[in-house]
Amino acid sequence: MHINDILAADQTTISFEFFPPKTAADAEVLYENIAHLETLHPSFVSVTYGAGGSTRQLTHDLVVRLKQTTALDPIPHLTCVCHNEREIEEILTKYAQAGVSNTLALGGDPPRDLQGYVREADAFQHAADLVRFIRRFNESGVHPDPRGFGIGVAGFPEGHPATPNRLEEMDYLKAKIDAGADYICTQLFFDNRDFYDFRERCELAGIGVPILAGIMPITSLGGMKRMAQLALGARYPAKLLRALQRTSNDPEAVKRVGVHWATEQCRDLLDNQVRGIHFYTLNKSDATRQIYQSLGLRDSKILRGAVRPVAT
């Protein structure tokens, strides 16, 4: 389904993010977890794209497998770095032929092995350039849907790490929307006040597309540190850090604290009419399923129409 149809059908979308497995063992674990999460009937799922397109084929393979063998609606990520127009057109054509309806257009990062990579050679300097190119591709009629691909872009409630000027940051985000983006999916955050402030600043900037909140349940201290690095600086509230300190590094206690914190975030977001919640699953299913149970959600369909979730 085109993302606009998904957003029209679901009062609050619930979605999951996966990254493509690199080994057969990782793939087996991922598909087992996907089977568990499929029973929750998410509005859609997304698949990440490695730095500089380093997982290009792996991303494509996972997206097509999800499309062909599950009831899930996959949205592949697509990035600017290390790509030219011909490469992006080929990727979009393959997805269109496979019946994939949407994509998430991102700026992206260069691979770690390309130290000192110069971005000036890239065809797309900013995500807004990639959004415009996808819109032009949509007009070519290659996609079976006359509307072409639905397009998502990223938002940063705590501020974009490469744009310390928060006023310029909103200008850049507005440029992505003006270029033709249909919705915003945010980077992970741990304090809902950051999200609500971001949502209000979007409104003040004239950004009217749906904004989906990115949530990552903490399941280990090591994972928390890695995600903070990958996110280029996530802010962990003192109350969360204090709760984690009380666990004395006990792995199960850390997971309980992380899941509880994410559950309370989701409960508050639902109470404040969030347009969607996007779970960064890290290719696991337990934490997300526990959050569903705690919120009283049987599956995401309960959020459709006028039915509100049951809090427990």
Contact 22, 272 (CB under 8 A): no
150: phi > 0 → left, psi -120 to 50 → alpha, else beta; which? Answer: beta
* Marked catalytic residue, from 17, 28, 87, 200: 17
* Separation between Cα atoms, residue 237 and residue 184, nearest integer Å: 24
Give CA separation, 1 vs 88, 102, 168, in Å. Answer: 21, 8, 33
For residue 56, give the nearest of 108, 128, 132, 129 by alpha carbon. 108
3-state SS, residue 151: strand
- Helix locations, 157-191, DSSP H: 166-178
Within 10 angstroms of residue 75's Cβ, the number of other Cβ atoms is: 27
Indicate if 17 belongs to the active site.
Answer: yes
d(CA 72, CA 129): 29
Angle between the 192-204 and 166-178 helix axes, to the nearest 10 degrees?
A: 60
Comparing CA positions, the residue from 195, 178, 175 lying closest to residue 186 is 195
Helical spans, DSSP H, in 105-162: 127-138
Joined together, the tokens standing for residue 283 give 């290719």
For the annotated catalytic residues, the residue numbers are 17
